[in-house]
């Protein structure tokens, strides 16, 4: 997994700071958040500094349900979803990349959930994120 950045507790992650770190991934960032703003206007996006990881993370949620966690990494960004076992069939039958399905299949269990992380390297990753958001929203 890529090393997170944004470790300065006193430096809130503004767009200027974020874009200075993600470089060419800025177009993927804009595409992802344009999609979220258009299709999921009720999502809440909140940056918080977490002492356990000594880093800023964005938590994206709908009401009290966490949809994903976003972290800034060198020259990109990543989002991590946590899914229960009942999401397995939807994930494996989805159109996401096989390597993401394998990551989930082989992922470590944390209680009754497993993580699935997308690192944004190509525009197709935004489509995969949308698919996983929809799966997340379909799980009760």
9-54: per-residue pLDDT in tens? 999 999 999 999 999 999 999 999 999 999 999 999 999 999 998 9
DSSP string, 72-112: EETTEEEEEEEEEGGGHHHHHTSSS-HHHHHHHHTPPEETT
- First and final C-alpha spacing in the chain: 29
Rounded Cα distance between 88 and 81, Å, is: 13
Split at pLDDT 50, 70, 90, the class of 106 is very high
pLDDT for the residue 2: 59
53-76 pLDDT per residue, tens = 899 999 999 999 999 999 999 999
């Amino acid at each position: 997994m890529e090393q997170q950045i944004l470790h300065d507790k006193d430096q809130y992650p503004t767009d200027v700071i974020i874009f200075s770190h993600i470089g060419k991934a800025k177009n993927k960032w804009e595409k992802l958040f344009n999609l979220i703003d258009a299709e999921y206007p009720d999502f809440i996006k909140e940056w918080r500094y977490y002492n356990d990881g000594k880093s800023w993370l964005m938590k994206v949620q709908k009401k009290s349900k966490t949809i994903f966690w976003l972290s800034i990494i060198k020259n990109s960004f990543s989002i991590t979803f946590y899914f229960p076992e009942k999401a397995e069939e939807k994930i494996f039958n989805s159109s996401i990349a096989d390597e993401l399905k394998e990551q989930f299949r082989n992922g470590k269990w944390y209680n009754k959930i497993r993580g699935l992380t997308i690192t944004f390297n190509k525009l197709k990753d935004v489509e995969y994120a949308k698919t996983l958001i929809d799966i997340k929203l379909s799980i009760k």
